[in-house]
Amino acid sequence: MKKIGVLASGRGTNLQSIVKAEERGELAGKVVIVISDRREAYALEYAREKGIKSVYLNPKEFSNREEFDRVMLEQLKNEKVDLVVMAGFMRLLSPLMIEAFPNRIMNIHPALLPAFPGMNGVKQALEYGVKVSGCTVHFVDEGLDTGPIILQEVVPVFPEDTEDTLHERIQTVEHRKYPRAIDLYCRGFLNVEGRRCFIYEPEEQNSAD
């Protein structure tokens, strides 16, 4: 079973969806550590409630991003983490982290990449006037939301939508899609070739979805 380390900065709703999938037996992996850059992040409290190791790292105690990531990397390696999952982690990772976990760091973004990367993806999409939005699960590289795409799903945009209402519907999809992508990785069904991520899984599993 693959060991998963989760990086979170806030409420940790995607963390909760991952742990719940694990508890339902729908995830061939186990969350072994949660790291946050915010002491008050509910993700840390949730991890403690679930008996998962929780670690707070204060960014102000580090002179640069690389020093912060070096300590974070030590924590992940101490737990023998196979896959790093970003769940609302509001910090860019340094090359140190990317090189340590090549194609082994996942992120989820509330837009259909490569459209509307970075902060406020939902707001960007609404302001642009799109008719559909959605979410993207992707591997993390040194760019901003530029890594190979694993899964995507479309969410319709309604005329009356606000940033909050659209984001809420996108999050509902995220909570289903993210555990699915993680499970595919843990089962060895993902293969990255250049910019493309291919999914290989038994036919019987495909037909069951």
Tens of pLDDT, residue by residue over 94-103, are 999 999 999 9
Task: Identify the burial level of 11 via C-beta atoms within 10 angstroms of its C-beta, where 0-12 means exposed, 13-18 middle and 19 or more buried.
Answer: middle
CATH number of this structure's domain 2-208, picked from the four choices 2.60.40.420, 3.40.50.150, 1.20.120.1080, 3.40.50.170: 3.40.50.170
Tens of pLDDT, residue by residue over 142-175, are 999 999 999 999 999 999 999 999 999 999 999 9
Task: Supply the DSSP symbol for 40.
Answer: T
Quick one: average pLDDT of 37-50? 96
What ranges do the domains of the chain cover? 2-208
pLDDT value at position 54?
A: 97
H or E stretch covering 174: helix 163-186
Find out whether 99 and 121 touch, Cβ atoms under 8 Å.
Answer: no
Question: Collapsing DSSP states into helix, strand and coil, what is residue 3?
Answer: strand
Residue with tokens 């990397």: 73
Count the residues in the chain. Answer: 209
Task: Supply the DSSP symbol for 124.
Answer: H
**What is the pTM (predicted TM-score) of this model?**
0.93
Residue 202 has pLDDT above 70, yes or no: no
- Which amino acid, residue 25? G
Tens of pLDDT, residue by residue over 120-149, are 999 999 999 999 999 999 999 999 999 999
If phi > 0 it is left, if psi is from -120 to 50 it is alpha, else beta; for residue 120 that is left
pLDDT value at position 146?
A: 95
- Which residues are catalytically annotated? 109
